[in-house]
C-alpha cells in the first residue's frame, strides 16, 4: 500500500520515491520509546471495581491489569491525558490542541499501553490506610481501605508515535512534545501517575528516551517502518533504550542532526525553547525532625535546630519475615534516593498531609468564627472538600505533597504494650502487642501550591510557625502516649518560580527583619481574605 495522500501521475514523483508519495509536504513518522521509572508508591486504578481477570479478594482498590497476562499496566489514555494536561498547564490549551488534537482534529501523538516490570524480588504491595477526621486527627470508624500499589523502581517501557503531515510543522510538534515530556523529569511539581498524587504518590522519572525518524515519502523510509511487524517494531524500540539519554531533546536532536543536518536540529532546539512555561505555583520547603523542642530551645534566644528525638508510628503490616517479631511496624517502602533504590522509613503521606491540613483548618476556623466569616469555603478551596465531615465532591486540593518524604538517620525502636483493664487497672492476659516504631531522624518535605495568592502563603506560614514552636498536633498513631511529634527545623517559601526564597523561621525569630515584613504581609492578606476582604495578589 502506497503512503500517497493524493493521486499523481506516474512521472510526478521524485527519484527514489514511490509513485504518488508527494503531497503538500513530506509525511514523517517518529517512533519513540521512553522508560518510565517510579520513584515511590503508585496506584494505577482499575476501570472496573473488580477486573474480569482478577480473583475476588479483600482489596478495595485494585490495580489496572492487562486482561491477557494479568500484569499491572499503564494505559495509553492515562499517560496521554497527563501529557496533554501538563502541556496545557505550561503553554495553554491552544498549543496543547496542536499536538493532541481537539474536537475538530485528531491527535498527532499516539501512545500504546505499557506493562509494568517490577524490581527484582519485589511484588505488588497492598497498602492499608484509614481515613483521618480532619477536625480531630483520629481515624474515622469504618474508614479502613486497602489498595494495591506498585513499588518504587517499577518501570514501564512506553511506545509513542508522532505523525507529522507537514514538514513545516515538524519542529513545532517536536518542541511541544519536549515541553510535555518536561513533566517526566522527576523534578518540580510535574506529572504524577495514578491516584493520590496530592499525597505524594505517583512520582515518576523518564530514565531513557529512544527516537527513530521515518520519512514516509521516501521508499527506504516507508519500508523501514511498514516492512516490519509490530513485534519487530516493539523489539527495536526497547533495544534502543539501553544506554539512551534521559532527555527527549538529546534523543531528537541526535536523530535530526544525523538525518537532516545541523540546521534541522537547531530549528528543533529553537522551537522547543520557544514553548512558554506559564505555570504558577509556590513551593514550601521544610526540614522536619521527628521529635519536639525542649524548653531550653526557647530560652536565651531562638534556636530552631534543637530537637529532642521522639517516636513516630505510621502503622503498616510487617513483612512475612518479620511477623514473628512485631505485630505492627512503622511504614517502610522502597524509595529512589539519589538514583539508588533502597527500603527506607517514610514520614508518611496521608498522615503528614492530614497534619498540615488539620492545622490549617484549625487556624481558619479560629479566625473565621471570631469574625463571622465562611471559613469552610476558603479552607476547601485550597485543601479540598472533606467527605468525612459532610463536604461535597468539589475540586481537589491545590496544595500537594510532592513526594512521600524519606526519614534520614534515626533508628527503629521496639516497644511492647499491654492492654490494661479500665475497671481494675490490671493487665489483660494474652493482650500484649509488639510495635516497631521509628525514633528521631529528619526528612525534607516539599509542598506545591498551584495558582497561589498571598492569603494562602500567609496560612502556610502560620502552619510552619505552629510546627516550629510548640506543636499541639501529631502525625500517626499513639498521640496519647506522646508519639507523633514533628518539629520544623528549616522552612523556606518560594512564592513563584525564579523568585527569592523567604525564610519563615527567620521571620519567626526576628521581629524586625526583612523576612518578617514579607511574611507579615502574607498573614495580613490571609486575615483579610477570611474576613471577606480582597485577597492578596
**Weakest-pLDDT range from 260-269, 312-321, 354-363, 398-407:** 312-321
Please name the helix (run of DSSP H) or strand (run of DSSP E) that holds residue 477, with its range, or none: none
Q: What is the pLDDT of residue 279?
A: 93
Handedness of CA 231, 234, 237, 243 (dihedral sign): negative
**Weakest-pLDDT range from 80-89, 371-380, 443-452:** 371-380
Average pLDDT over residues 123-134: 77
User: 395 pLDDT band (50/70/90 cuts)?
Assistant: confident
Average pLDDT over residues 329-338: 80
Q: What is the mean pLDDT of the chain?
A: 85
User: 72 pLDDT band (50/70/90 cuts)?
Assistant: very high
Q: What is the pLDDT of residue 492?
A: 96
Cell 518524604, located at residue: 405
User: 339 pLDDT band (50/70/90 cuts)?
Assistant: low
How far apart are the C-alpha atoms of 402 and 201, rounded to whole Å?
8
180 or 369: which leads in pLDDT = 180
Q: What is the pLDDT of residue 337?
A: 65
Average pLDDT over residues 118-140: 77
CB 182 within 8 A of CB 190: yes
Q: What is the pLDDT of residue 490?
A: 94
Q: Taking phi first (over 0 means left), then psi (-120 to 50 degrees means alpha), and beta for anything else, what does residue 243 get?
A: left
Checking if the pLDDT of 263 tops 80, the result is yes
Three cell numbers written together for 157: 517501557
- How far lies 418's CA from each of 322, 415, 435, 479, in Å? 20, 10, 11, 17
Q: What is the pLDDT of residue 343?
A: 85
Average pLDDT over residues 469-488: 88
Per-residue pLDDT tens for 80-98?
A: 999 999 999 999 999 999 9
Checking if the pLDDT of 70 tops 80, the result is yes
Q: What is the pLDDT of residue 519?
A: 95
Checking if the pLDDT of 14 tops 50, the result is no
How far apart are the C-alpha atoms of 144 and 479, rounded to whole Å?
19
- How many degrees, rounded to 5, is the angle at CA 343 between CA 337 and CA 348? 85
How far apart are the C-alpha atoms of 416 and 179, rounded to whole Å?
53
User: 135 pLDDT band (50/70/90 cuts)?
Assistant: low
Average pLDDT over residues 321-342: 75
Per-residue pLDDT tens for 300-324?
A: 666 777 888 999 999 877 776 666 6
Average pLDDT over residues 240-255: 95
419 or 263: which leads in pLDDT = 263
Q: What is the pLDDT of residue 525?
A: 95
How far apart are the C-alpha atoms of 178 and 83, rounded to whole Å?
10
Checking if the pLDDT of 203 tops 50, the result is yes
Q: What is the pLDDT of residue 328?
A: 84
Strand 281-292, strand 332-337: pairing = unpaired
Checking if the pLDDT of 19 tops 60, the result is no
Average pLDDT over residues 407-411: 92
Amino acid at each position: 500500500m502506497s503512503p500517497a495522500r493524493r493521486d499523481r501521475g506516474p512521472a510526478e514523483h521524485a527519484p527514489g520515491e514511490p509513485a504518488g508519495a508527494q503531497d503538500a509536504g513530506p509525511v514523517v513518522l517518529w517512533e519513540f520509546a521512553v522508560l518510565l521509572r517510579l520513584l515511590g508508591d503508585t496506584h494505577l486504578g482499575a476501570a472496573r471495581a473488580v477486573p474480569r481477570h482478577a480473583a475476588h479478594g479483600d482489596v478495595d482498590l485494585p490495580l489496572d491489569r492487562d486482561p491477557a497476562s494479568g500484569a499491572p499496566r499503564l494505559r495509553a489514555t492515562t499517560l496521554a491525558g497527563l501529557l496533554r494536561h501538563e502541556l496545557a498547564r505550561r503553554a495553554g490549551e491552544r498549543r496543547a490542541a496542536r499536538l493532541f488534537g481537539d474536537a475538530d482534529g485528531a491527535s498527532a501523538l499516539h501512545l500504546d499501553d505499557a506493562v509494568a516490570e517490577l524490581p527484582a524480588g519485589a511484588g505488588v504491595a497492598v497498602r492499608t490506610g484509614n481515613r483521618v477526621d480532619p477536625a480531630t486527627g483520629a481515624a474515622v470508624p469504618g474508614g479502613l481501605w486497602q489498595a494495591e500499589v506498585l513499588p518504587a523502581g517499577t518501570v514501564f517501557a512506553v511506545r509513542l508515535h508522532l505523525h507529522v503531515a507537514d514538514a513545516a510543522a515538524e519542529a513545532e510538534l517536536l518542541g511541544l512534545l519536549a515541553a510535555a515530556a518536561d513533566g517526566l523529569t522527576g523534578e518540580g511539581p510535574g506529572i504524577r501517575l495514578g491516584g493520590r498524587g496530592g499525597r505524594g504518590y505517583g512520582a515518576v522519572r523518564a530514565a531513557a528516551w529512544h527516537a527513530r525518524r521515518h520519512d514516509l515519502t521516501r521508499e527506504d523510509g516507508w519500508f523501514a517502518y511498514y516492512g516490519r511487524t509490530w513485534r519487530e517494531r516493539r523489539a527495536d524500540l526497547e533495544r534502543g533504550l539501553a544506554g539512551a539519554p534521559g532527555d527527549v531533546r538529546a534523543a531528537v536532536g541526535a536523530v535530526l542532526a544525523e538525518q537532516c543536518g545541523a540546521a534541522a536540529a537547531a530549528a528543533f532546539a529553537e522551537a522547543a525553547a520557544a514553548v512558554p512555561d506559564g505555570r504558577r505555583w509556590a513551593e514550601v520547603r521544610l526540614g522536619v525532625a521527628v521529635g519536639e523542642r525542649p524548653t531550653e530551645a526557647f530560652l536565651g534566644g531562638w534556636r530552631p535546630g534543637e530537637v529532642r528525638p521522639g517516636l513516630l508510628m505510621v502503622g503498616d503490616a510487617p513483612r512475612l519475615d518479620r511477623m514473628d517479631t512485631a505485630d505492627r511496624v512503622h511504614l517502610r517502602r522502597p524509595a529512589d534516593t539519589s538514583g539508588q533504590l533502597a527500603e527506607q522509613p517514610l514520614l508518611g503521606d496521608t498522615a503528614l498531609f492530614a497534619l498540615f491540613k488539620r492545622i490549617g483548618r484549625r487556624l481558619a476556623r479560629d479566625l473565621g468564627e471570631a469574625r463571622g466569616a465562611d471559613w469552610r469555603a476558603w479552607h476547601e478551596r485550597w485543601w479540598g472538600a472533606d467527605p468525612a465531615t459532610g463536604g461535597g465532591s468539589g475540586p481537589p486540593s491545590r496544595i500537594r505533597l510532592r513526594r512521600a518524604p524519606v526519614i534520614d538517620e534515626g533508628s527503629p525502636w521496639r516497644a511492647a504494650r499491654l492492654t490494661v483493664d479500665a475497671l481494675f487497672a490490671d493487665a489483660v492476659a494474652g493482650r500484649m502487642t509488639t510495635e516497631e516504631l521509628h525514633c528521631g531522624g529528619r526528612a525534607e518535605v516539599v509542598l506545591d501550591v498551584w495558582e497561589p495568592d498571598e492569603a494562602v502563603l500567609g496560612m502556610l506560614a502560620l502552619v510552619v510557625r505552629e510546627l516550629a514552636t510548640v506543636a499541639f498536633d501529631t502525625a500517626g498513631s499513639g498521640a496519647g502516649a506522646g508519639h507523633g511529634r514533628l518539629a520544623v527545623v528549616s522552612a523556606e517559601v518560594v512564592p513563584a518560580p525564579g523568585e527569592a526564597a523567604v525564610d519563615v523561621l527567620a521571620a519567626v525569630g526576628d521581629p524586625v527583619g526583612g523576612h518578617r515584613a514579607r511574611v507579615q504581609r502574607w498573614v495580613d492578606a490571609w486575615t483579610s481574605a477570611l474576613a471577606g476582604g480582597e485577597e492578596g495578589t
